[in-house]
């Protein structure tokens, strides 16, 4: 059974990942962090599954 993929606000992403807003946006520009989805004219959210997947990839790489 699939669980619903929550959409996270930027502040939630910052707390989960432990980084600043500027870090998130600079990594997005480099292609190294998931891009958000636009949910309104001036509103974006990140898919929780993509953020947690990004974290898992980093953790996996550090164990090698």
pLDDT for 60: 83
pLDDT digits (tens, 9 = 90+) for 2-43: 567 999 999 999 999 999 999 999 999 999 999 999 999 999
Is residue 47 situated within a structural domain? yes
pLDDT for 1: 45
Range of the domain at 47: 7-62
Q: What is the DSSP letter of 59?
A: H
Is residue 23 situated within a structural domain? yes
Is residue 26 situated within a structural domain? yes
Is residue 45 situated within a structural domain? yes
Phi, psi (rounded to 5 degrees) for 63: -90, -10
pLDDT surpassing 70 at residue 64 = no
Is residue 2 situated within a structural domain? no
Supply the pTM of this predicted model: 0.85
Between 45 and 59, whose confidence is greater? 45
What's the number of domains the chain is made of? 1
What's the token pair of residue 35?
A: 């891009």
pLDDT digits (tens, 9 = 90+) for 35-48: 999 999 999 999 99
Is residue 1 situated within a structural domain? no
């Amino acid at each position: 059974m699939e669980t619903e993929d929550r959409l996270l606000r930027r502040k939630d992403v910052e707390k989960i990942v432990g980084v600043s807003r500027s870090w998130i946006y600079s990594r997005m520009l480099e292609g190294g962090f998931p891009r958000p989805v636009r949910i309104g004219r001036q509103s974006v959210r990140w898919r929780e599954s993509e953020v947690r997947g990004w974290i898992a990839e980093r953790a996996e790489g550090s164990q090698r």
